[in-house]
Each structure stands twice: as C-alpha cells, then as structure tokens.
Structure 1
Amino acid sequence: MGMPHVVVDDAGYAYPGRTVLEHVDVRASAGDRLAVVGENGSGKTTLLRLLAGDLAPSTGEVRVVGTLAVVEQEMPVAPGATVGDVVAATLSDVRAVAAELEAATEAFDHEEGALGELTALLARAEHLAAWDADRRVTEALSRLGACTDLDQPLAELSVGERHRVRLACRLAERADVLLLDEPTNHLDGAGIDYLTAQMMGWRGVVVVVTHDRQLLDDVATAILDLDPAMDGRPVLYGQPGYLAFRFTKNQALHRWRQRYRAETKRREVLAARLDASYEGLSDEWRPPKGSQKHRRGTRARTHVKAADRLIERLEAQAVDVPVPPLELAFPELAALDPHWSLGAGDCLLEVRSPLVAGRLDLPGVRIALPASGRLLVTGGNGAGKSTLMAALAGTIPLERGTRTVHDGVRVGVLGQEDTTLGQDDGATGFELYARHALRLLDAGRLDPTHVVPVAHLGLLDEEELDRPLRELSVGQRRRFELACALLNAPHVLLLDEPTNHLSTDLVDELTLALVRTPAAVVVATHDRRMRDDLATWPALEL
C-alpha cells in the first residue's frame, strides 16, 4: 500500500448551481499536520468529504493512501444507538486486523510463504496495538470528558457529548490518515491538551479543519487557506504558526482592498468622463440654429469617435479585481438608554445564588453587570457554564436564587448549540431574521427604532441570506445566529462559546469588537486564545 499520503491536484467541487471549491493543490505525507482554514462556506468540510471519499471531485484529482478515520462536526444518530455501539465498531475494526494476523500466522508456509506480506501485516498490527485497544478507548473517553457509560443512548447526549465519544474512538483507531472537522469545539482545556498530544504524536497524516488559533500554533506544519486570494486561488502557507499566517494574510488583504478601491474610483472617474462626452453630442457641438447645417453632422461624428476611443481605453485599462471578502461591521451598541436614571450601585442585569439541580449551584454568588460591564466565564465541560449563561439570559428557570433586569434593557443571546431558529421549514435567512424580530417584539425585547439590519453586519451576503438556512454550512448558520443576537441592538450581550464554527478571521474581528463595544458583555469560552485576549476582564471560573 505504501506510506500514507494525501494528494489534491487542482481539485474543485460544485453543488448544483454553486461552486464551493476551485484550484485546490496540496500534498501531505506521514508526519504532516495540515490545518485547513477559511471563511464559513468556503468549502472546508467539502474538502474533508472529498478526502474521505464521500464526494468525487468535479475537477482535478484527489488521492488518499492509507486507512481513514473521520470526525465530522455533526454526528448522525441511528435510532437506539448507544455509546457502546460506537466503541464496539472501533474495537471490531482493530480486532479484525489482529484476527487477520493470527489467521495468516497459522496458515503461513515457512518454506514457500510470502514473508513480506506477513511482515507488513505484523507491522500493521503492531502499529494498531490491538491488544491495547480497550485501554486506549477507555483512556480517550476519560481524557476527553466523554460519556463512559456504554449503555447510554446517543440520542440523549448533547451535540458536544456525542462529538467527544466519536473523537475518542477515532483517536483510539490509529488510522493512517486522520481527518478532523473543528475537533476542539466541544472540548475543555484538559481535552484540548490530550487531543494536541495525540495529534503531535500521530504517525500518519493529519488534516484538521479548525478555527482554534492556538491549535494552529501548536500542531500545524502548514496552513491551507481556502479563502480565495486576489487571483481567485486558495493559498498554502508553509511557514508554521498562526501569527505568521495572520500577518501575511493581512498584508495581502490590505493590498487587495487598496487595489479594489483604486480600481473602483478609476472606473467612476472614467465613467463620468464618458457621460460628459456623450452629453456633448446633444449640446456642446450644436452651432447656432440655421447656420452651417452640414457642420452639425461632422462635429457629431467627431464627438462619437472621441467617446468611442474613451470606451476602448477604459476596456483596455480595466483590471478585473474581484470584490474583497466581507468584513465584520459590528453595530454601534449603546451602554444604556439616556432616559434611565441609574444609581452608582445599579446594574443592568443581576443573578444571585442561582441553582439548577444537577447542573449549577452557586450559593452566595452575585453576578452583576453594570453598564459596559465585562465578565469572562471559564471552566471544564460539565462545570455549568452554559447553564449559567441560560440563567443570565432568563431562558432557564431557577430553583433557587433571583434574576433581575433593569427595565428597558435589551439582551442579545448567542447559545452554544446550533438552534438555527426553525430552519427546517425551508425559510430563508431574511425570512427567519424577520420572524425573530417579531418574536422579540412580542416579548417586549425589541425597540422598533433600534433594529440592526442583517445585511449590514458583514456576516452573510445577500445571496446567502436569500437561500434556505438549512442549505448553509454549520459555520454560516453560526454567523446567522450571531446576527440574531445583535438584531435588537442589545445593551447586554451574552455569548456562549462564540468562536465555535467561526473562521479565524471572524474570530479575530469579533474579539476586537467585544473589547471595544460600549455594551456590557459576558463571554463563556474554552478558546485559549480568546481567553488570553480577554485576560484583563473580570473572570468567574466554575
């Protein structure tokens, strides 16, 4: 079979009516850890599906040599399936190799047998360490904070809990080529450390789609950016490290935007000159009425020719500069309403001693957000971060404690799970945004004079918003939910794992916006780089 490797040669893929990948070139061999980044909808998950063999490229070639292990963002759940079923599938694959080796050893002809084949099979079994597979699975489940109850139905687990079960089993398989789609989304610090160590020691090829900037620093030997450059092609950055990638890309984006602005301005100037030239055909060249009537046609032809020459120069000098990528246009949020009369100790939002049985218990704890307040919430999986965020948002009842909101305060909420706001009925982003606005209005959480238009945020373009939400990628849906959190121009923003499924570019832009906004902000995150960026904020570790 040869050494494991991955080859993508000028590959592209198009869904009906929509091209998502073009001109992708990359090669990776054993020991390489290729990180794939790009804006939501740029084709990152599609590329992984091409590598996994789930899709065939529309153009070019994709070749993968070696056994495969794939961890998708979303794990489909078969009716009645349990954690034990996932574990059993992993162990059966490993044990099949052990059984094949045992059968080959027993049947081996020491006089005429093919020793090379037996040696290769033995090496394969030793690499998989079949005798150690049970321990590896148990260790991976434990280290990633996954469910270890084999009888637990998968349907009763959260998205993050199912993800950790699948990831643990795939790591235990020791495949030649490991394909990971946003693997750190549902991991805490200890889980990320374990995953990082596993990836660093992987003997085969690792291809990881990730927005985790620290993971890019820690493991990537190269970064493939699927966002097209000015020439329309993805870029492979061979120099490791996120900061080097970020600096180089920022320089390229700056040049692109400068050139686009210059070309747009030049076209506007030439178009104005052209309009003026044609306008002269009806006014400037006309002689006084009744005099030299034959000159009128001659001068008309002269002006037409001059205008035509200007058109020719315009077309000859035109440079096809594509529109640069969207930039986050974070809205101007107010810290408070000018009509409010807040005392020195008054807060916009307060929660005291919250209790949700089995999920959160903070006796004697007061969480108070003043105008423009900040709070960073951290803690391991299961510590209660999402429950606390729901308590602050008022979307979960408290069995003890109180929640108080100042009259008139608008709260924007981004939850951790992908709710997609009723996407299954085929409604477009524009339609769902309008429905969300009406729900907020009915609940008294929206001032009609303070509505943030979704198309003005730089999160999704109009073409994407005109499509049914269920047709968008996980990352694009996450962008939509962020837009919904900003719809009512909130005085308080509650963001639970805001970096999940978002591109590295958008995470950088969002982090800067959260630091600068006058609104009060609470962020619960496991993202190590974001925690570092917000290290000066008051913090609550659960």
Structure 2
Amino acid sequence: MHLVADDLAFSYPGRDVLRGVGVTVNSGTRLGVVGENGSGKSTFLHLLAGQLDPTGGEVRRDGTVALVEQELHPVPGQTVGDLVAATLDGLRRAAAELDAAAAAFDHEAGDLAELQRTLARAEHLAAWDADRRVDVALTRLGAPRDLGRGLAELSVGERYRVRLACRLAERADLLLLDEPTNHLDTSAIEFLTGELVAWRGGVVVVTHDRELLDDVATAILDLDPSWDGRPVLYGQPGYLSYRFAKNQALHRWRQRYRAERKRAARLAEVLDASYEGLSDEWRPPKGSQRHRRATRARIHVKAADRLAQKLEAEAVEVPVPPPALAFPDLPAMSPGWDPGEALVEVRNPRVVVADGGEPPGEASGAWPARDAAAAGSATSPGSSRKSVPGVLLDLPGTRVAVPPSGRLLVTGPNGTGKSTLLRVLAGEAGLARGSRVSREGVRIGVVGQESPALTPAAARRTGFETAADEALSLLAAGELDPDHVVAVASLGLLSEEDLDRPLGELSVGQRRRFELARALLHVPHLLLLDEPTNHLSIDLVDELTRALTATPAAVVVATHDRRMREELADWPELMLS
C-alpha cells in the first residue's frame, strides 16, 4: 500500500487552512501530525481519507483506508452491536472476495506473485478470528461490550473507544487516527501503542500525546506554518528530536523578525529626518532665494525617495512568529485570609447517579482512611474497590484538602471517579454522603473533560455565539468582578479573529482553548483541570505544563497524559482505583 499527498491545499470560504503539504506514507510509516489548534490537522485526515476534496494538489491512494474521528455522531437508534456487526460483515466480505479471487486463479497464465499477495492479504484479514479481535480490543480499550447499548447513551469517550476498537480489528492498509489517546487510560494507551507499532500498513496519527510520539512516530509533520508559510516534515523519529529542531527554527525566526522590525524602524527614522528638510521650519522666509529654495527641496525629495527604495529593496518579508501562552499572574489567596486554611476541603465523598439511589450492600467502612491534603507531601494510593453500578465516586475515610498554592495530581483508570471528584471540589456534584467546605470568596476555575462549549449545539443553546460575547455577557450579568478579570485576548489562546467567530465554527481544539480561557477569566485562586491536554496543540501542552508548575494559584489536575504525569511527579498524588 501507499499514500501520496502532493502539494496539498484546502480552503474554507474566506479562509485558507492548508497549503503546500506533501507527504508519502508506505507500509511501516507511522506519521505523527502536530500543529496549533485550527491549523487543519483534522481537515488533513479527511483529505487523506477522501472525505474532502482538496482545493489544490492531489492525494493518491493504494489500499484500504480507515479513519477514526474525534467525534462520533451516532444515528438515532444505533447501538454498539451495529458498529461491531458492520466491522465483522466488512471483514468477512473482503475475505470472501479474496478467497474467490484465489479460487479463480489461472494456474497456467496467472500472475503467481499476485496470487501470493492475495493469499497474504486474506491471511492478514483473518476473518475467522475477527470476533475475538473485536472483543479483545473492546476489553483492552475499556469500551462498552454490551451490544444492545445505544450509542447515544454513551459518553463521548465511550463512543470513541467502541469505534477505535472496531477500526483496529478491521486491519486496514492505512489507519488514520485523530487524537486517539484523549479518552484512554494508561493500560488502554499501552494496548494501542502495541497495536500501532505492529501495524502492517501505514499509520497517520494526529496527537498532542508526547509519549505516544516518542513510542510510535517514525516522522513528525508539523502543520504550523514556518517563517516561509509552509508546514515542515521532521524526519527524525521521537518527540525530543522534533522539539529541539522546532525550537531552533523558532529561535531563528524570532531573531529574523526582530531584525526586520529594527530595519523598518530605522527606515522610518531616516525618512523622517530626510523629509524634515521640507518642513516650514527649515525653509527660508518667503521671498528670499526662491529658486534656490525650490531646488534644494527637490534634491531632498529625490534623496529621500532613493533611500526609501534602497532600504525597501533590502527588506525580507518575515511574518509575525506564533504567540506563546501568556498565563496570567493568579493570586494564591485574598488579603486577610489565613494561609493555613484550605481553599476547599472534601471529606468521605460519595456520589451516586441522580436516579440510581443508594445501591444495596454497600459497606461504608470497608476501606482504610486516606488523607489527600495537597500541601506538598505524597499521598497514599487509592483502594482497590470494585466498581458498583450507580456509584460515581465512593471514598470513605478520605480527606481532600487544597490549601493556597496547593498542588494535587489525581490519577487512576477510567471509571474510578476522577472527573466526579473534581466536580465535587468545584461544588458541581451533590454528595450522597460526606461534606464539602469552601472558603468564603474563593474563586474556582474549571476545565472539564467533556465541556459544553466543545459541542456547537450546546454553545448555541447558551445564547453565546462567540467567545467575546460570553465574556462580555458574564461581566454584564455581574458574574465577574470588574477588579478581577483577565482580558481573554491577552492570553495568547485565541486570536482576535477567533474571538469574534461563532463557537460552532471553531475547531474542537480551539473550543478547548476557549474553555481554558474561560477558566482563567475571573482570576481564580484554584484551578481544577480534568484532562487538560485533551484537544490542545502539542506546543500549548508544553507551555501549559510549565505555567501550572509556576503559578501561585492552587492547582488540581486529573490526567492520563503520561508525559504530564512525569513532569508533575513531585506533586502530591491521589490514585483512584
């Protein structure tokens, strides 16, 4: 198999997305694709899959293609079983076609090499083993295995894991993945990594996961424009090699831009000085040496024009380098607060589904007491309790206290209650047992794993069409203190153009940036971040990690991101299981 994208370009009405992209993907190629939010990564995958037609260049494919998008929009009534059945039917149909081709082979005049490829292809598809492969993939990825469950009933992450399991079992020649680790825990990521490394065809994976790039990518395509406006293909495998090469390129770009700005400033100063001679203050009094006065004026004009032409001829067009995250200076606490008093404290929390009630047989004292005070010391690992239907979180004997400038890293497999715990800390989830106390006047910024703004329909229902509209509406409604407001445009998260665009027109990553900006809008004392690296660009993930370690505000992070966990390894950790 092979895939070739030659000088690929794509534009939406009034906006160029991709230009001059060229890659070749063969069997064994595992191409990582990175870039800023809105740089066209998902669009690039749709072009490779043939779901979009390029406005320039071409894509040539040889082999089968499977695409796993970030968002799966189910058909009404569609179930897990429908996706599984489509995968199995497709595999069996393809295997039958290959078997028929082998049976009809002309042993006297036929191409023996082609027959061998046909048989190898049938063996690779292994339709007789497809049921087991699907079941293994569903299990290892933590996806629902109840074939009767409706896809509309599942969370975004559960739907993604079902689709990913089916695509892995199909064994396409070219596998296209859009942010595959967003909804996976550590064990599921390890399974996916093994599958990708062993993939017999080609792989193109859009990801912000730096560890995945290190483990999988044989090359990295950065869709962020370089100083000449074109994407760059970094041929060295591994994230660290890419990071070093890109940092060097950005350094040269910024140096060149500063030199160009200095040159432009010098041009302006020289021209001002040259044309100064034409002002009324310089000229002799009217009536005196009139002809000499006109001659000298013409000489000054011509000399200034020649200088301007010379300097402009030497100029080099250098675009503005990409902005970096400008994380605001957040407060640790307000004046008069006792530094020893926690901002938020939760004890013995238990949360059940709204209509599920208390499941029978729960022994509330079955687990040892644990203290997860986020004051800088390590915490004990979580209990090994089994999941109980209807129970979202159950931590008897557990105290979670977040002091000013405190840090806490919350880890654990999917389904252990990490998101629910953050919702409890934020005061957004009701407790069936336990207590939550927060300091009066504490400001909390929240970035949820599946936030409403990530869904265009939900954004429209709120009535806030743009990010700028929402900030102004919150201020007008009195939900923001005018003395404690961060200007969204100053954060470097969204451009002025994006701030004025309807949320529904922004990419998933850009809407995620908006969620982060909204959490910072009211200058919080405490940041609660649930999978904060999901959907963000890889550059922003690096910048955000550095900012979280340095901010005076208290921070609680729940994440599966392995590289982020390594970088926050000195934080107190609460491991749920």
TM-score (norm 2): 0.89
The counterpart of 1:412, out of the listed 422, 440, 445, is 445
Unaligned runs of 5+ in 2: 353-390
Change (3 A) 1:343 1:266: closer
Identify if the C-alpha distance between structure 1 residues 126 and 312 changes in structure 2 by more than 3 Å, giving closer, same or farther.
same
Aligned twin of 1:25: 22
- Once the two structures are TM-superposed, the CA of residue 103 in structure 1 deviates from its matched residue by 4.3
Describe the shift of the 1:103–1:262 C-alpha distance in structure 2 as closer, same or farther (beyond 3 A): closer
- Indicate whether 1:394 and 2:413 are aligned: no
Match of 2:501 in 1: 467
1:541 counterpart = 2:538? no
| Alpha-carbon distance change, 438 to 169 in structure 1, aligned in 2, over 3 angstroms | farther
| Local SS of the residue matching 1:514 | helix
Instruction: State the distance in 1 between where 2:267 and 2:427 align.
Output: 57
SS of equivalent residue, structure 1 residue 431? helix
Alignment of 1:307-456 (within 5 A): 307-338=304-335, 340-342=336-338, 344=340, 346-357=341-352, 358-420=391-453, 422-424=458-460, 427-438=465-476, 441-442=478-479, 446-456=480-490
CA apart distance, 1:276? 3.1
| One-letter identity of the residue aligned with 2:150 | P
The aligned counterpart of 2:533 is 499
In the TM superposition, what is the alpha-carbon distance from 1:269 to its structure 2 partner? 2.5
Q: Distance in 1 between matches of 2:214 and 2:225?
A: 22
After TM superposition, the structure 1 = structure 2 runs for residues 70-469 of structure 1, keeping only pairs within 5 Å, are 70-104=67-101, 119-338=116-335, 340-342=336-338, 344=340, 346-357=341-352, 358-420=391-453, 422-424=458-460, 427-438=465-476, 441-442=478-479, 446-469=480-503
Give aligned-pair identity as a percent: 68
Partners of 2:102 and 2:119 within 8 A in 1: no
Change (3 A) 1:350 1:22: same
**Superposition deviation, residue 458 in structure 1:** 0.4
Gaps of 5+ in 1: none
Write the mapping of 1:42-57 to structure 2, written as runs, cut at 5 A: 42-57=39-54
Match of 1:517 in 2: 551
Amino acid at match of 1:423: A
CA drift of 1:438 comes to 4.9
- Asked if the contact 1:285/1:299 (under 8 Å) is kept, the reply is no
How many residue pairs were aligned?
533
Equivalent residue letter for 1:351: V
SS at match of 1:269: helix
Matches within 5 A, 1:52-63: 52-63=49-60
CA drift of 1:361 comes to 0.3
- 1:99 is displaced (CA, Å) by 2.6
Return the alpha-carbon distance in structure 2 between the equivalents of residues 395 and 430 of structure 1: 25
Deviation per residue, 1:291-323 (Å, 9 max, x gap): 222222112112211221222123112211001
SS at match of 2:452: coil
- Equivalent residue, structure 2, for 1:16: 13
After TM superposition, the structure 1 = structure 2 runs for residues 33-48 of structure 1, keeping only pairs within 5 Å, are 33-48=30-45
Greater CA drift, 300-309 or 448-457: 300-309
- Please give the alpha-carbon distance, in whole angstroms, between the structure 1 residues aligned to 2:284 and 2:412: 84
Shift of 1:102: 4.7
Native 8 Å contact 2:349 2:396 kept in 1: yes
Taking the aligned partners of 1:417 and 1:101, their CA distance within structure 2 comes to: 43
8 Å contact 1:9–1:26 — kept in the other structure?
yes
Letter in 2 for 1:395: E
| Counterpart-to-counterpart distance in 1, 2:567 and 2:400 | 22
Separation in structure 2 between the aligned mates of residue 269 and residue 105 of structure 1, nearest angstrom: 75
SS at match of 1:138: helix
* RMSD between aligned residues: 1.7
